[in-house]
Structure 1
Amino acid sequence: MSQLPDRLPTIVGQPHPIVQPAEVELYGERRVAYVQSMENPNQSVAIDARLLQPPAVYQPRDLTPQPLIDPLAQRLLAGGVGGGALAAGVGYGFGQAVGALAAGGPVLLLAILAALVTAGRGGSRQGDTYNITNNNRLWGKTTNNL
């Protein structure tokens, strides 16, 4: 009588391990790859294909043309130039307005004084007429007679 049980015990609730199918290697079958010999580059040497590493897979390059300057940098630069032009225009206009106000002060003062002087004379007055005789001679000698 054998000491071994007829069937293996199973544990309820646990699944059986899933066995993944593996590649079957047949006896005598050998995959060969030919590579360049290290000693003589004109000869090829047969090696087992499983020893070769798979070729590296490269991602395709993006060949779309790229701008010379970053678009964000272009926007920032344009904003800076536009802001500078705006500031220059506002500064120029403000300077013109202040200059006009500054020049208007003395002119306004002179206009007020002229109005006061003419009002103090009694309104409009007829001016006096003077006849002046101007005699010019040689070497720049000038005589004025009233």
Structure 2
Amino acid sequence: MFETPITVVGNIVNNPFRQRVGDQEVIRFRMASNSRRRTPEGEWEAGNSLFVSVSCWGRLVTGVGASLVKGDSVIVVGQVYTSEYDDREGVRRSSVEVRATAVGPDLSRCVARIETLRRSDTASTVDAPEEAESGDHGDDVGADPADLGDAAGTEALPLTA
């Protein structure tokens, strides 16, 4: 009822790991969101960092498990909360956690190829175009993004990490 929505942009800092909780699966990972700021001299310096644990349930398990690894730039949308626990020495600790509702690559810092997962019940009632079923999306699939232009013939901007 009083969930706190949040969007976090950052990098995955450990390899996502899959767990079974009861009869469900969950994928968890930690991510860091780092800020930078420009000094009066015009140089960039590191700012504050936010580290959060992310849990992905349901349909996110398949996509995150097949797509993301340590170091990937991601955008995570979900509800944030504080988890409290006792560590091995019995000291009370807390951590910021996000239960993700959406996770995706940060396309300002990477290039991604999209594969749509189709439900078996939806696939039988909706006729998909032949090229979508075959995975053939034109000659530019797998091409260097710097070599691709838009429909007007302008060059694509080079990507930086």
User: TM tier, shorter chain?
Assistant: under 0.3
Structure with greater strand percent: 2
TM-score (norm 1): 0.17
Q: TM-score, normalised by structure 2?
A: 0.16
